[in-house]
């Protein structure tokens, strides 16, 4: 079970530091005690017939991590909600999740009214508060409940139970839920432990978590850290402006982020040679990593092992790993870093449109199989379930595979090399975005005859760092479109620019040809 990585460590070293957040250091024993209080309360409060999932609406505070561990220990899956998301998106996720319970911290209470006003059926909402007996706490808002104070009884779950549900961008305009079981997550953590060397298992390791709990690298940060008896450090802000100072002040040893975070630090001249001597392990994933950025990081953190990873949410955090060496970076032909080979237990195969393996070195679609593979999307009606296929391949044990829609080829020396997408999905700062979801919002508020969104601008390795939307309505109110996008989409999915055009290029099937549109726009930008 995923949470046992934490509780086993808490049992063996209760006095060791487990979590640093809000300028306070918490020990394994005290976090475990608080989490089990939440666990007991949730089980007592669950509606008749029980509950197998619980919403977690919190800021990155001790309450968030106590709540998350308490939910897992109670035999439920946690469903993270992020306060900075638009209320409409939060409400859509609550509704789709079907969770009958919610834990909320005091800072999120103010945002509840707008979210709940959008729901037809409300969950039972409990206030998370590690100081429940403090008489100076503000009064609880109407409709909020306190968790029952009851004795703890350990819940015996099964590996097939769900551990968490994360929501990604959906091509129909509605976020889609990806449920991950304890078996999936356990396989991931154990695989990561197999990849480790002596640098990752030393006493006093300090892991840092920059991403939100809705982003699956957070699972790596938490549970690989706690499985190794390390301490997880939570910065007050995820703004990369403060990253370098945080690493140095707290002597962070383990780093994990998307490359764009490090790229921004480089733009701010924070990657000076030797600036991060405390780092021992650095992991990048979620988007292509350029060789120039890898080299800059290697110089800034000269004592650090450096790995590039890859993996869709549907395959539990990551399913490949590539060890970056100075020798590899010395080769001027290497512009971007390969994603490498399958992690322990996972399998990869590159196929053509008929799901037949391609010849060595040829480009095709990457299929992923193994114990980390999710059973499917939360809703059985989700069209994306067709990406989970059954097939057998010579020399492979897996029978179920996920069609990643990522183009890839296999290199004998470097493993899997990412070649781009086969569909319209893009990633910005590691966050998945289905262009159709953004187009749904833009089209609804612009009343345009035609609408299209493309990834632009791009960085040096061709990855999107923003979106540009095109509409064919000359009387459109651009500010109104942007305001609607801010109300319905997370900040990273809001277009940076709205462009009004007379017409949009169509392919032979009468559909908007985004590739031609992007080429035209890039050419016009170059001319300008």
378-425: per-residue pLDDT in tens? Answer: 999 888 999 999 999 999 999 999 999 999 999 988 999 998 888 878
Q: What is the mean pLDDT of residues 152-164?
A: 93
Phi first, then psi: what are they for 184, rounded to 5°?
A: -60, -50
Q: Which of left, alpha, beta for 182 (phi over 0: left; psi -120 to 50: alpha)?
A: alpha
Banded model confidence at residue 518, pLDDT cuts 50, 70, 90: confident
Provide the 3-class DSSP secondary structure of residue 501: coil
Banded model confidence at residue 303, pLDDT cuts 50, 70, 90: very high
Per residue in 242-265, is it b (16+ CB within 10 Å) or e — as a string? Answer: bbbebbeeeebbbbbbbbbbbbbb
d(CA 401, CA 437): 25
The single residue listed with the structure tokens 């909402």 is 125
d(CA 50, CA 46): 5
d(CA 281, CA 324): 12
Provide the 3-class DSSP secondary structure of residue 277: coil
pLDDT at 136: 39
d(CA 286, CA 216): 10
Structure tokens at 235: 């910065």
What is the per-residue pLDDT across 216-236, written as a single tens digit (0 to 9) for each? 999 999 999 999 999 999 998
The single residue listed with the structure tokens 């487990």 is 18
pLDDT at 459: 78
Q: Is the pLDDT of residue 527 over 80?
A: no
Count of CB atoms within 10 A of residue 484's CB? 17
Sequence-distant (6+) residues with CB within 8 A of 57 are: 81, 83, 90, 102, 103, 104, 105, 108, 111, 112
Q: What is the mean pLDDT of residues 438-451?
A: 83
d(CA 170, CA 267): 32
Which H, E and C letters describe 297-354, residue by residue? HHHHCCCCEEEEEECCHHHCCCCEEEECCHHHHCCCCCCECCCEEECCCCEEEEECCC
Banded model confidence at residue 137, pLDDT cuts 50, 70, 90: very low
Q: Is the pLDDT of residue 132 over 60?
A: no
d(CA 449, CA 47): 48
Per-position DSSP letters for 2-49, written without gaps between them: TTHHHHHHHHH-TTSEEEEETTEEEEHHHHHHHHHHHHHHHHHHSPTT
Structure tokens at 56: 């977690």
Predicted TM-score (pTM) above 0.95? no
d(CA 212, CA 59): 9
Q: Is the pLDDT of residue 105 over 90?
A: yes
d(CA 216, CA 358): 30
Tally the C-alpha atoms within 13 A of residue 496's C-alpha that lie toward its C-beta: 12
- Segment (H or E) for 411: strand 400-411
Banded model confidence at residue 49, pLDDT cuts 50, 70, 90: confident
Banded model confidence at residue 173, pLDDT cuts 50, 70, 90: low
Banded model confidence at residue 196, pLDDT cuts 50, 70, 90: confident
pLDDT at 366: 97
Q: Omega into 457 within 30° of 0, i.e. cis?
A: yes
Structure tokens at 327: 């020798």
Which H, E and C letters describe 205-232, residue by residue? CEEECCCCCCCCHHHHHHHHHHHCCCEE
Instruction: Find out whether 258 and 464 touch, Cβ atoms under 8 Å.
Output: no
What is the per-residue pLDDT across 480-489, written as a single tens digit (0 to 9) for each? 899 989 988 9
Structure tokens at 310: 């890859």
**DSSP type of residue 428:** E
Banded model confidence at residue 139, pLDDT cuts 50, 70, 90: very low
Q: Omega into 34 within 30° of 0, i.e. cis?
A: no
> In 3D, which of 330, 319, 329, 286 has the Cα closest to residue 416?
319
Q: Is the pLDDT of residue 141 over 60?
A: no
Provide the 3-class DSSP secondary structure of residue 282: strand
Provide the 3-class DSSP secondary structure of residue 460: coil
Q: Is the pLDDT of residue 199 over 70?
A: no
d(CA 376, CA 368): 13
Sequence-distant (6+) residues with CB within 8 A of 23 are: none
Domains of the chain, CATH where assigned: 432-527 (3.30.300.30)
Phi first, then psi: what are they for 321, rounded to 5°?
A: -155, 140
């Amino acid at each position: 079970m995923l949470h046992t990585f934490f509780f086993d460590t808490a049992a063996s070293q209760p006095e060791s530091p487990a979590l640093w957040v809000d300028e306070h250091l918490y020990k394994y024993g005290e976090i475990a005690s608080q989490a089990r209080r939440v666990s007991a309360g949730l089980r007592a409060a669950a509606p008749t017939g029980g509950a197998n999932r619980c919403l977690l609406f919190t800021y990155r505070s001790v309450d968030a991590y106590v709540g998350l561990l308490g939910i897992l220990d109670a035999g439920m899956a946690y469903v993270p909600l992020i306060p900075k998301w638009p209320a409409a998106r939060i409400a859509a996720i609550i509704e789709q999740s079907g969770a009958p319970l919610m834990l909320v911290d005091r800072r999120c209470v103010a945002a509840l009214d707008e979210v709940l006003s959008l729901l037809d059926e409300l969950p039972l909402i409990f206030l998370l508060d590690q100081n429940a007996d403090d008489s100076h706490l503000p009064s609880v808002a109407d409709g909020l409940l306190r968790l029952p104070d009851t004795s703890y009884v350990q819940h015996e779950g099964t590996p097939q139970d769900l551990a968490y549900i994360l929501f990604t961008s959906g091509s129909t305009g509605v976020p889609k839920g990806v449920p991950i079981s304890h078996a999936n997550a356990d396989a991931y953590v154990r695989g990561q432990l197999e990849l480790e060397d002596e640098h990752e298992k030393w006493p006093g390791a300090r892991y840092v978590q920059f991403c939100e709990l809705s982003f699956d690298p957070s699972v790596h940060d938490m549970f690989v850290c706690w499985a190794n008896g390390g301490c997880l450090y939570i910065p007050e802000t995820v703004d990369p402006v403060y990253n370098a100072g945080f690493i140095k002040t707290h002597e962070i040893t383990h780093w994990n982020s998307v490359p764009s975070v490090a790229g921004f630090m480089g733009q701010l001249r924070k990657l000076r040679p030797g600036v991060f001597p405390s780092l021992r392990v650095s992991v990048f994933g979620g988007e292509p990593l350029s060789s120039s950025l890898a080299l800059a990081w290697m110089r800034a953190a000269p004592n650090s092992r450096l790995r590039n990873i890859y993996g869709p949410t549907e395959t539990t955090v990551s399913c490949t790993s590539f060890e970056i060496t100075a020798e590899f970076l010395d080769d001027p032909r290497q512009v971007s870093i390969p994603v490498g080979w399958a992690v322990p237990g996972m399998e990869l195969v590159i196929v053509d449109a008929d799901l037949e393996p391609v010849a060595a070195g040829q480009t095709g679609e990457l299929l992923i199989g193994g114990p980390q593979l999710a059973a499917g999307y939360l809703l059985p009606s989700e069209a994306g379930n067709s990406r989970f296929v059954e097939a057998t391949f010579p020399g492979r044990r897996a029978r179920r595979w996920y069609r990643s829609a990522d183009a890839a080829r296999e290199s004998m020396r470097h493993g899997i090399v990412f070649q781009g997408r086969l569909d319209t999905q893009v990633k910005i700062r590691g966050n998945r975005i289905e262009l159709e979801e953004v187009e749904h919002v833009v089209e609804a508020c612009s009343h345009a005859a035609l609408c299209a969104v493309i990834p632009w601008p791009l960085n040096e390795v061709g990855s999107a760092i923003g979106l540009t939307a095109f509409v064919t309505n000359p009387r459109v109110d651009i500010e109104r479109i942007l305001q609607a996008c801010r109300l319905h989409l997370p900040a990273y999915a809001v277009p940076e620019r709205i462009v009004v055009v007379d017409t949009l290029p169509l392919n032979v099937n009468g559909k908007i040809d985004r590739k031609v549109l992007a080429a035209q726009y890039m050419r016009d930008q170059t001319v300008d």
